[in-house]
Structures are given as structure tokens and as C-alpha cells.
Amino acid sequence: MLTTKTYRTEFKELAGKKAVLAGDFHFKSKHRVRQVVDKINAQNADLVFYIGDYTEKVLADYVIEQLLSVNAPACFVLGNHDMPEDYKSLPNLLNNRHIEKYGITIAGVDYYNPDIEKALSNAKDPVILLSHDPDILPKVPERVRLILSGHTHGGQVTLFGRPFITPSKYRFGKGIINNRLVITGGTGTSIIPARLFNPPEITVIEFK
């Protein structure tokens, strides 16, 4: 089972465009990789943002090839389960750096050594920041319009709409926080191979 969750957010510079936010894949089979890529392609997005934790049992080279095959420009950051040496040749890997696209800045920070100042150095506004860990929120300057994250898996197991367990010290699960942070629930599982009341998802962001 793989669902989509759609949010609409104000971002006039990207008005009318659509992005997919996806991550926490923890891929265990090539079939699942293809299923996720097909789901992303079905959204006909203008941008794709990948926020880390790519694979467990599938070779990273295969995962990279497939994730790059989507029908929109893609940007990446790494997560706490990713080995940097497996992704050193990955294009648009935004570990403490930024690029410009569609007249905006897309920046990203490294999970283990996040350097927001370096990522935003000489960056033009407006800015979207990718961070695997959503707990970076209080440290991000106000000039950053939107922060895109994952890591929590939405809790994997939820009770009454709230995560039962989450790695976030702020108890973040998934969704939009403070109209500024979007957390995807992720497509995979970690440690416990189960999700309850919290189906795997890719997140669609429609800009208005």
C-alpha cells in the first residue's frame, strides 16, 4: 500500500507548480523501488525532493538510478541511515549547499553535520531548505520560506492521530508545522517492519 498526501501552501514564486516530497524509503526490494518511482511519476510534478534514508537491502547504485529517472528535476539530502560514500557522485546532493531553480533557492543540510550558514551562503531569496531531521526547525532563520523534512516516519504507529514513538524531541509526526515545516510520513519502515493507522506515503505540495 502506498498513498499520497497533498498539502497546499502559499509560495507565490512557485504558484501553479507542484512538488513531490519523498523519503525514509528503507528499500528492501527492487519491486518497491519501481512502485515508488511510478507513484512519483504519476503526480506529474515540477520538482521532486528526496530527504534521505534510501535503502537497506537494494544496492544504492540501483536506487539512485531509479530515483533519478523520475520525470522532474530531483534534489537530494542524506539521512541517518545513508553512507555518504555511496552517494558522493549523486547530482544535486545538497549537503550544506544550495542550487537555484525556477528563480528560487533550494538548499540542503547534512544530517550529521548540518551547517545552515554554509548551505545558505550567498543564497538568494526565497529559499526552500531540505533537512532529513525536522528538529532543525528552531535553528532555521526566518528568511527560509519552507523547510521540507522526514525522519519520523509519521511515527510508523499512531494512536488517535498522534505518533506513538517518534525520534523527534519535539514529538513531531508528519504534516505541516507552524505553516513553515512540511514533514512527510515516508514510504518505508525502520526497526519494526510495521505501520499502524499510518500508511506509507509520498507527499505532494501544491504551491499557490
Q: What does each C-alpha distance from 52 to 12, 106, 125, 205 come to in angstroms?
A: 27, 16, 25, 18
Above 80 in pLDDT, residue 189? no
Average pLDDT of span 150-170? 74
Q: Is the peptide bond before 193 cis (omega within 30 degrees of 0)?
A: no
pLDDT tens, position by position, 112-121: 999 999 999 9
pLDDT score, position 155: 62
pLDDT score for 137: 97
DSSP three-state, residue 117: helix
Tell me the C-alpha distance between 131 and 37, whole Å. 21
- pLDDT, averaged across the chain: 92
Mean pLDDT across the stretch 165-174? Answer: 82
Distance spanning both ends of the chain, measured CA to CA: 29
- Per DSSP, the chain holds a count of helices (H) and strands (E) of 3, 13
Q: What confidence tens digit (pLDDT) does each residue in 1-47 have?
A: 899 999 999 999 999 999 999 999 999 999 999 999 999 999 999 99
Q: Given pLDDT bands bounded at 50, 70 and 90, which one contains residue 56?
A: very high
pLDDT of the residue at 192 = 62
Q: What percent of the chain has pLDDT over 70?
A: 92
**Burial zone of 159 (CB within 10 Å; 0-12 exposed, 13-18 middle, 19+ buried):** exposed
Residue with cell 533557492: 105
Task: Give kind and range of the element (H or E) at residue 19.
Answer: strand 18-22
196 vs 66 pLDDT, higher one: 66
The rounded distance, in Å, linking the Cα atoms of 64 and 146 is: 25
Query: Residue 107: phi, psi to the nearest 5?
Result: -115, 160
Residue 173's domain comprises 3-207
- How many domains does one find in the chain? 1
Instruction: Name the 3-class secondary structure at 65.
Output: helix
For the four alpha carbons of 162, 167, 170 and 173, in that order, the dihedral sign comes to negative
Mean pLDDT confidence for 165-169: 79
**CATH assignment at residue 47:** 3.60.21.10
- pLDDT tens profile 61-73: 999 999 999 999 9
Cβ neighbours, 10 Å, residue 191: 9
202 has which bridge partners?
A: 4
Q: Model pTM? A: 0.93
